[in-house]
Amino acid sequence: MPNYRYELRQNTGQVITGVIAAESSKAAALLLRNQGGYVLKLNEAAGSRGKGLGSLLNFSIETGPSQKDVLNFTRQLAVMMKAGISIRAGLEAITDQIENRKFRTMLENVRRDVESGKPFSDALAKYPRVFSPLYINMVRASELSGSFGEMLERIAEYLGQQIETRAQVRGAMVYPIIIAVMAVSTTVFLLTFVLPKFVVIFQGKEAALPTPTKVILWLSHMMRTYWYIFLTGAVGLAWAFMWTINTRWGRAWWDQVKLILPVFKKLCRCIYISRSMHTMGELVNAGVPMLDTLSITANISGNTVYKRMWRQVFVSVKQGKKISQPLSRGNLLPKSVVQMINSGEESGKLAEVLVDISEFYQKELKNIIRTVTAMIEPLMIVIMGFVVGFIAMSIILPIFKLSSLVKG
C-alpha cells in the first residue's frame, strides 16, 4: 500500500503535515477529510511503491491538460456554482476527480491561491497556456458582475463549440489524407516492385521505347538504387516545411497561402470569421472592455492576416473611431458582415449582432466542410487514377510497339 505526504489545514486554522497510507490518492484524501479540515497538498511519497516487474511495465507518459479536460472542469464548476457551492469547495471536489496529474496539481495551486484571498481569475492567469485570455477575461468580468455560474456555462459552451469545429475540420481532412497516402504508396509499389519485372523485356530495345517509358524506367532505377536519397529528401522537405511555418515570416506566408488556395480558401475564411465573431460576441456580452476584446480577438483569430486586421481595428478604436470603419477598407470580411457590425454599433446592439453573425457562419462552416469534402474526394481519385494509369500505359504501349515491330 503506497504512502502519501499531505498538508492539512485543520478547522482551527493550523496547518499540519504528515504521511498516510492508503490504496489510492482518493482514499487518502477521504481519510484526511474525515479527520476534519481541508487537504492543501497530497502527493505520493517517493519510494512508497515497489520497483517490481509489474510497476516497471505499468507506466504512462503524462501530458498536459487537453481542451476537453478544461471543458469538463468548466462544466462541473458551473454546475456547482449554480447549486450554491462555494468556489473553494467546488475546486476541492473537482480536483480530487481529475486523473491528469499535471492538471490536478495546477488546480490544487489555483485552489490554494483562492483560499489565500486571490481572485479566481488571477489564479487562472498563472497558466496562460491552459486558460486562454478569453477564459480569464470572461471570468474576471463575471467576478465584477456577480454572474459567475452563468458565465462559466457560457465559457463551457464556447469551448465546446470550438472543439466541435476543430473536430469537423479534422474529420473532413481524414479521407483526402488517406487517399493521398494510398496514391503515393501505390506509385512507389509500382515503380519499385512491378516495373523492374518488365526491364528484362525492354533490354536491348531502349531506342524503340517511347519517352514516357524511358522516364518511368529511369525513375524506377533511381528509386531502387538511391532510395535513401528519396527517403531523406522526403523527410527533409517535411521538416523544412514544418520549420518554415513555425517561423514568423513562414507563418505569415503560409497564412496568406491558405487564403488563396482554390479549394480551401473559402473554408479557411469561414473558420477565421466564425471564430472572430464568436469570440467578440462572447466578450462583449460578458462586459469586457472593447479594447481588450479586440486584442483578445486578434490573438485567437488563428491567422496572421486576420490578426493584423484586428490590430488595425484596435488602433482605430483607440483613436475614437468605429469598428466598422477600418473593416470597410479591407476585403477580409464580406461587405454584408461589415454592414451588420456598423448597424449593431449604431443601434447599440453590437453583442447581439456579433452572436447572430457567428451562428450564421457556424452553420455555413458545416455546409462548406461538406462541399469541400465532396470536391476533394473525386479530385483525389482522379489524380490517383491518372498516376496509376500513366505508369500502366508506359508499360503497355512499348509492348504493343515492340510486338508490331516483330510482326513487321
Task: Compute the average pLDDT of residues 247-255.
Answer: 90
Residue 5 Ramachandran class (φ > 0 left, ψ -120 to 50 alpha, else beta): beta
pLDDT tens by residue, 15-32: 677 677 776 777 677 777
Q: 143: pLDDT confidence band, cut at 50, 70 and 90?
A: confident
pLDDT at position 194 is 80
Neighbours of 274 (CB within 10 A): 22
Q: How many Cα atoms are found within 13 Å in the side-chain-facing hemisphere of 207?
A: 2
Q: Which three cell numbers stand for residue 51?
A: 520497483
- Distance (Å, whole) CA 25 – CA 180: 47
pLDDT of residue 236: 93
- Say how far residue 102 (Cα) sits from the centre of its chain: 19
> CB-based burial of residue 140 (10 Å sphere; 0-12 exposed, 13-18 middle, 19+ buried)?
buried
Q: What is the pLDDT of residue 54?
A: 42
Distance CA 141, CA 269 (A): 30
Cα distance between residue 318 and residue 3, in whole Å = 58
Q: Are 316 and 383 in contact (CB under 8 A)?
A: no
Name every residue whose Cβ is closer than 8 Å to that of residue 232 and which is 6 or more positions away in sequence. none
The class that CATH gives domain 167-408 is: mainly alpha
| Average pLDDT estimate for 381-396 | 81
Instruction: For 218-231, give the DSSP string.
Output: HHHHHHHHSHHHHH
Helices (H), 146-264: 148-189, 199-202, 211-225, 227-245, 248-258
CB 303 within 8 Å of CB 286: no
Cα separations in angstroms, 211 against 83, 218, 220, 376, 397: 78, 11, 14, 31, 11
- Answer whether 152's CB lies under 8 Å from 159's CB: no
**What is the chain's mean pLDDT, rounded?**
81
Same fold yes or no, 67-159 and 167-408: yes
Which residues fall within 8 angstroms of residue 364, CB to CB, at 6 or more apart?
A: 270, 274
Is 348 strand, coil or helix? coil
Q: Which three cell numbers stand for residue 46?
A: 517517493
What digits encode the pLDDT tens for the residues 82-93? 888 888 888 888
Question: How many CB atoms sit inside 10 A of residue 235's CB?
Answer: 10
User: What gap in Å lies between CA 225 and CA 221, rounded to an integer?
Assistant: 6
> What are the backbone angles phi and psi of residue 62, rounded to the nearest 5°?
-85, 125
The confidence score (pLDDT) of residue 262 equals: 79
Give the C-alpha separation, 396 to 297, whole Å: 59
Q: Where are the domains of the chain?
A: 3-50, 67-159, 167-408
The answer to whether 96 touches 26, Cβ cutoff 8 Å, is yes
Give burial (CB, 10 Å; 0-12/13-18/19+) of 103. buried
- Measured in degrees and rounded to the nearest 5, phi and psi for residue 28 equal -65, -45
Between CA 110 and CA 108 the distance in angstroms is 5
Say which CATH architecture domain 67-159 belongs to.
Answer: Up-down Bundle (1.20)
Between residues 120 and 286, the one the model is more confident about: 120
Residue 60 has pLDDT above 50, yes or no: no
pLDDT over 90 (residue 117): no
Instruction: Check whether 266 has a pLDDT greater than 80.
Output: yes
Percent of all residues in the chain with a pLDDT value above 70, rounded to a whole number: 85
Q: What is the tally of helices (H) and strands (E) in the chain?
A: 18, 3
pLDDT of residue 51: 44
pLDDT average, residue stretch 325-331: 85
For the segment 179-226, what is each residue's pLDDT rounded down to a tens digit? 778 878 888 888 888 888 777 777 766 677 778 888 888 888 888 888
Query: Which helix (H) or strand (E) covers residue 7, if one does?
Result: strand 3-9
